[in-house]
Amino acid sequence: MSTEPDFELQDPDDDEQAMDAYSEIVVRVAESVTPHVAAIEMTSTGRRGQIRKGSGSAVVFTGDGYMLTNAHVVAGIRSGRAVFADGRHTDVELVGADPLSDLAVVRGVKSTPPPAVLGNAEILKVGQLVIAVGNPLGLAGSVTAGVVSGLGRSIPVRAGEHQRVIEDVIQTDAALNPGNSGGALADTRGRIVGINTAVAGLGLGLAVPINTTTQRIIASLLRDGRVHRAYLGLVSTPIPLDASAVVRTGQKEGLRVVEVIAQSPAELSGLQPGDIVLRAQGRAVSSAESLQKLLFEEAIGQPFPLTVLREGKPVQILAVPSEMVQP
């Protein structure tokens, strides 16, 4: 009786063709995206010299050396250093950071590689192949691949006394670690559809999307070094409407006002806890994200009409948002 293991002989082309199709995509994207991704280290000067305050990855997205990363990577520090896969390196300066979207822009002082191509996360679909490329701790070209496992996720974030959610976050099963924070999430054509964020404690592969909202945030950071947001001063939670309210309003959900901040534009407008916000600026709102999308710079100091249900009856309220003061 033979003790040799029994191996089934197979035509190598059978399995390799399927594997090669997948591998070729990942290899091609990795090769095209890796040159644009830097390892960055943000430092400050202390009694014992330079002290590392934050580190992660960053993605070159303009021809003159501007890079996207996470706000938590730069940690509020104004300067640091970036190193690329080809050995090129440059000092970097912080242009602006927005903790409420976990995005930041830094600029290389010296020459940087050419920019990556930004895509549009709004056309992603669950199950679509994506590739995460980072440069953690200078280990150039850290690449993981996976699929989009969820869209429209939200991450709660806080900056000072203000709490918001990062909206429309991409969830993926491509493995991430803290060194990948600020790196690229690319589609199969090598377009950057997200900036990876390895948020401590969540244990998920998440990326801040490149979409219409974040493009506005990036433009504000480039222009002003910060994002100007309008502030209403209310805390709300989504709530399903009862059958009669659905018939009257044509909406299935609204935002129940849980708290109104004292002396805020919401309080000054007459908004009350227990009100259910149905519409803002004429648009239906049913989540914190849908309201947040309306509270950008152009809403500051301008009439902001709200339609609410109060004790089952529609009430029209006119608020005037102020500018959100961030630390």
Active site positions, annotated: 72, 102, 181
Quote the tokens at residue 145. 């691949």
**Measured distance CA(167)–CA(212) in Å, rounded:** 12
CA dihedral 288, 125, 39, 88 (to 10 degrees): -130
* 121 DSSP 8-state letter: G
**Measured distance CA(157)–CA(155) in Å, rounded:** 6
**Measured distance CA(106)–CA(94) in Å, rounded:** 4
Using DSSP, state whether 24 is helix, strand or coil. helix
Q: Residue type for 69, please?
A: T
Cβ atoms of 53 and 75 within 8 Å: the answer is yes
Using DSSP, state whether 297 is helix, strand or coil. helix
